[in-house]
Chain A
Amino acid sequence: MRIAAILIVLAILIGYDFSEGAGKKISEIGNKHNFSYYNISANYRAIPTDEIPGFSRSNQICVFCHTPHRSSGEGPLWNRQATTVSFFKHFSSPTLAIDDPAVKGASEYGQPNGSTRLCLSCHDGVTALGALFTTPLTYETYQVHFLDVKNNISGPNVHLPYQTYSSHHPVSFKYNIAVRNILTSPPYNKTEYWFSPAPGVKLDRAERMQCTTCHDPHQDKSENPDPTTPFWTSKTYAEVCKSCHNLVSPPPLP
Chain B
Amino acid sequence: MFLSACAKLPTKSLLFNDPDPALLNVWPPPPERPRIKLVKVFKGAEDFLLPKGRIESFFEALTGEHNQPLEFMAPAGVASDGDRYIYVADPSSRLVHRFDFHENEIIYLTHSGTEPLASPVGVALDSNGNSYVTDSVKAKVYKYNANAEYVGVLGEGVIDFQRPAGIAIAKNDFKYVVDVLANKILVFDRNDRFVSDFPNNVHSQDLNKPVNIAVDKDDNVYVTDAFNFSVKMFDRKGNLLKVIGSVGDGPGSFSRPKGVAVDSESHIYIVDANFDNFQIFNQMGQLLLFVGNTGKKPGQFFMPNGIFIDRDDRIYVTDSYNQRIQIFQYIKEQASN
Contacts and interface: CB of A to CB of B under 8 A. Distances in A.
Interface of A: 35, 43-44, 46-47, 49, 52-55, 57, 63-64, 67-82, 85-92, 102-103, 106, 108, 111-112, 117-118, 120-122, 124-127, 129-130, 132, 161-162, 164-166
Given A52-B228, A77-B287, A92-B249, A132 B119 contact: yes
B94 to A, nearest CB: 7
Contact of B305 (A68, A71, A124): A124
Contacts of B275: 88-90
Contacts of A80: 32
Nearest to B33: A78
A82 B251 contact: yes
A77 B137 contact: no
B267 to A, nearest CB: 10
Q: How extensive is the interface on chain B, given as a class?
A: 35 or more
Given A72-B250, A82-B28, A165-B73, 18 more contacts: A46-B227, A52-B230, A55-B247, A67-B274, A70-B248, A73-B250, A74-B286, A79-B289, A87-B250, A88-B255, A89-B275, A90-B255, A111-B322, A125-B119, A125-B136, A126-B163, A126-B165, A130-B119
B303 A117 contact: yes
B229 interface: yes
Given A44-B227, A122-B256, A127 B295 contact: no
Contacts of A166: 92
Contact of B243 (A53, A91, A127, A129): A53
Contacts of A63: 247
A78 B321 contact: no
Interface string B232-253: 0000000000010111111111
Interface string B32-54: 11010000000000000000000
A166 B227 CA distance: 26
Contact of A162 (B74, B274, B322): B74
A67 B249 contact: yes
Contacts of B230: 52, 54-55
A74 B322 contact: no
A47 B74 CA distance: 31
A46 to B, nearest CB: 6
A199 B259 CA distance: 39
Contact of A125 (B91, B249, B280, B322): B91
